[in-house]
Amino acid sequence: MRLIVGLGNPGNEYEWSRHNLGFMLIDKLSSAAGIELTQRICQSSVGRGEIEGCAVKLVKPQTFMNLSGEAVACLLAKQRMTPTEGQAFPGEKLIVISDDLALPLGKIRIRAHGSAGGHNGLKSIIERLGTNEFIRLRIGIQPEHPISDTRRFVLDSFSRSARGEVEEILERSAEAVRTILRDGVLKAMTEFNSNE
């Protein structure tokens, strides 16, 4: 079982916000695979199904971004995947999707492990799990111009005129997740991190 967690904030007011790209990608994956997120487990909306021949749980934590780690730790405990002393954490079983203000809009960056990179959702997960050894797929939201209020920028919605581009970004990101599941994280990194 793979746990695929998209980070975001619950509520209609955040639906199209830049910070909710993780939620948007989970919605795209669930729609394409016919997986409904109807279960309410560990303060999360969860759907179980299959993508690329892999059993998956698609997850949208409902804790708000800064507390995402609470939901993820609870779900991993239920799957008996919580990091324990003396045992390697099965990090390849957890894929976390987030936005990234340090990457240009639409650029995808896949890593098998790493820091939070200033992202509060990733920071919360790393703190609660006590490890950064899990796969993350980050989607760039950096604008071409300087911004004075970072918090406001990430919580603002994409403009209606940008939503076609957002859909294209999400489709490419969904293919990146499918590649991770089908061919492994190293192959996905080679294919989708190519413009570094």
What value does the mean pLDDT take over residues 171-176? Answer: 98
Q: How far apart are CA 79 and CA 21, in angstroms?
A: 25
Kindly tell me if the per-residue pLDDT of 99 is higher than 70. yes
At residue 145, the pLDDT reads 86
Domain ranges (residues) in the chain: 2-192
**Whether the Cβ atoms of residue 192 and residue 110 lie closer than 8 Å to each other:** yes
The model's pLDDT over 22-59, given as tens digits with 9 standing for 90+, comes to 999 999 999 999 999 999 999 999 999 999 999 999 99
The model's pLDDT over 3-18, given as tens digits with 9 standing for 90+, comes to 999 999 999 999 999 9
Q: How many CB atoms lie within 10 A of CB 48?
A: 14
CATH number of 2-192: 3.40.50.1470
Looking at the annotation, which residues are catalytic? Answer: 19
Under the banding of pLDDT at 50, 70 and 90, the label for residue 81 is: confident
Under the banding of pLDDT at 50, 70 and 90, the label for residue 85 is: low
Model-wide pTM > 0.85: yes
Arithmetic mean of pLDDT over the chain: 93
Share of the chain above pLDDT 90, in %: 86
Three-class DSSP labels, 155-168? HCECCHHHHHHHHH
At residue 88, the pLDDT reads 64
